[in-house]
Amino acid sequence: MQNITDRFLRYISIDTQSDPNNPAFPSTEKQWDLANLLVKELKEIGMKDVTIDENAYVMATLPANIAYEVPTIGFLAHFDTSPDFTAENVNPQIHKNYDGKEIVLNEKENIILSPDYFDDLLLYKGQTLITTDGNTLLGADDKAGIAEIISAMEYLIQNPDIKHGTIKVGFTPDEEVGKGAHKFDVEKFGADWAYTMDGSQVGELEYENFNAAGAKVTISGTIVHPGYAKGKMVNSMLIAADFIKALPANEVPEKTEGYEGFFHLHGMNGEVEKTELEYIIRDHDMEIFQNRKKLFQEIADQMNKDLGSDLIDVEIKDQYFNMREKVEPVMHIVDIAEEAMKQLDIKPLIKAIRGGTDGSQLSYKGLPCPNIFAGGHNFHGRYEYVAIESMEKARDVIIKIAEITTKKYSKK
């Protein structure tokens, strides 16, 4: 059986950064490089019905090795990485027997991964960590999930004494730009339910996520010579500053936690004549979420009224919704994952996701899909890391879920 670490390192060596501004599927051609490699590996380990479609969605089947019917379960992960930070030329660093102290990622640039700032590091004292060299993200989101799923399938193939029903696996592009489930063929996948392996800390088990929308604010101004500007120039950047200040100051990511929602300004580009602001709007509660979008528009409308002209244009688009509504009627699928963790002496951490996964959209497409930890931390940036032991535990949870599902339904 191939070492899960070697598999993970091979995947992160391939740049699969997605592009939010390209409507194509996938949004970057380089995502095909890993997608095609996954097809090859799935065939090599003995998976059946391995396919890749015109949009780079990869699917495969592990046939049942039992004579009776049990539900078909699935496991999913995405192979793109975040557009927020470079994924080119990832140079992983392996730190054995982590001592709980600072890790120097890049001595020249003085880039340090410190438990004083990232206290989750201390959860992995004595374990083997894989980090970046400070110049790129790592790609554990979600190449750790891919490595775990394929390693679990390989283990089940090589250990037929572990009884299981039919298992489906799927790997998706463009999750990081909100499109990962848009063209996913749920009917073709053929699972009764599935799990995304896309969480963080060991033990995470999630079936709630944000309701999400993206908002683009375009502000028009008027440019004239600054020496003769009185009464004529309209500086769109100053109007943008007023718009930003009009939103609730404490309802931003850096000041919220748990179920608290936010307005997040994540992009800004401006000149006197035109300024664009890019926001994401998030909340777990649907009513509050709708009110957030309403407030956003109302601020623009009031400012336009005060300015005496429609200089501010707002475009708001829903992205995904809280999967809790779709998972709660089938809570046994969460119970199975929880039991799997307990049998492996992993403490389940059942909580709401302060974000989203492919599973949130898939749940609304008819495939209930809770989220399970993949083990990585500090996603989307230079401080990303994962413990090898965490990936091994996630792999074991997948195997145990298959085993428990089979036993559970053998009595019916």
**How far is residue 303's CA from residue 291's CA, in Å, rounded to a whole number?**
18
**How far is residue 199's CA from residue 205's CA, in Å, rounded to a whole number?**
8
Provide the 3-class DSSP secondary structure of residue 282: strand
DSSP 397: H
148 and 394 Cβ atoms separated by less than 8 Å: yes
**How far is residue 326's CA from residue 240's CA, in Å, rounded to a whole number?**
38
Type of residue found at 406: T
For residue 410, the model assigns a pLDDT of: 80
CB neighbourhood size of 304 (10 A): 16
The answer to whether residue 311 scores a pLDDT higher than 90 is yes
State pLDDT tens for residues 370-389: 999 999 999 999 999 999 99
State pLDDT tens for residues 136-168: 999 999 999 999 999 999 999 999 999 999 999
Tokens at 83, concatenated: 């557009």
**How far is residue 138's CA from residue 240's CA, in Å, rounded to a whole number?**
34
For residue 255, the model assigns a pLDDT of: 97
181 and 358 Cβ atoms separated by less than 8 Å: yes
Mean residue pLDDT of the chain comes to 96
Provide the 3-class DSSP secondary structure of residue 281: strand
71: Cα separation from own chain's centroid: 26
State pLDDT tens for residues 335-373: 999 999 999 999 999 989 888 788 999 999 999 999 999
For residue 412, the model assigns a pLDDT of: 52
296 and 314 Cβ atoms separated by less than 8 Å: yes
**How far is residue 366's CA from residue 134's CA, in Å, rounded to a whole number?**
40
Does the active-site annotation cover 175? yes
Confidence of residue 131 (pLDDT cuts 50, 70, 90): very high
User: Percent of the chain, pLDDT > 90?
Assistant: 94
For residue 355, the model assigns a pLDDT of: 82
**How far is residue 296's CA from residue 324's CA, in Å, rounded to a whole number?**
25
Provide the 3-class DSSP secondary structure of residue 194: strand
State pLDDT tens for residues 232-291: 999 999 999 999 999 999 999 999 999 999 999 999 999 999 999 999 999 999 999 999
- Give start and end residues of each alpha helix (H) in 132-249: 140-158, 186-189, 236-246
**How far is residue 251's CA from residue 262's CA, in Å, rounded to a whole number?**
5
First to last CA, the chain: 34
Identify the architecture of domain 214-320 in CATH: 2-Layer Sandwich (3.30)
- Provide mean pLDDT across the span 96-122: 96
Tokens at 319, concatenated: 């992205």
17 and 87 Cβ atoms separated by less than 8 Å: yes
83 and 18 Cβ atoms separated by less than 8 Å: yes
Does the active-site annotation cover 328? no
For residue 184, the model assigns a pLDDT of: 97
**Residue 240 burial by Cβ neighbours in a 10 Å radius (0-12, 13-18, 19+):** buried
**How far is residue 404's CA from residue 103's CA, in Å, rounded to a whole number?**
39
For residue 2, the model assigns a pLDDT of: 65
Rounded to the nearest 10 degrees, how much is the dihedral formed by the CA atoms of 25, 26, 27, 30?
-150
- The CATH code for residues 4-209+322-410 is 3.40.630.10
Weakest mean pLDDT among 182-186, 200-204, 354-358: 354-358
Given the residues 15, 19, 41, 80, select the one marked as catalytic: 80
**How far is residue 215's CA from residue 192's CA, in Å, rounded to a whole number?**
34
**How far is residue 19's CA from residue 265's CA, in Å, rounded to a whole number?**
18
Question: pTM for this one?
Answer: 0.89
Residue 290 makes CB contacts below 8 A (sequence gap 6+) with none
State pLDDT tens for residues 11-25: 999 999 999 889 999
Given the residues 15, 175, 204, 396, select the one marked as catalytic: 175
Which of 77, 63, 32, 53 has its CA nearest to residue 153?
A: 63
270 and 276 Cβ atoms separated by less than 8 Å: yes
Residue 98 makes CB contacts below 8 A (sequence gap 6+) with 121, 124, 125, 126, 127, 128, 129, 387
Tokens at 401, concatenated: 């879920």
Confidence of residue 409 (pLDDT cuts 50, 70, 90): confident
Listed by start position, the domains of the chain span: 4-209+322-410, 214-320
**How far is residue 71's CA from residue 168's CA, in Å, rounded to a whole number?**
11
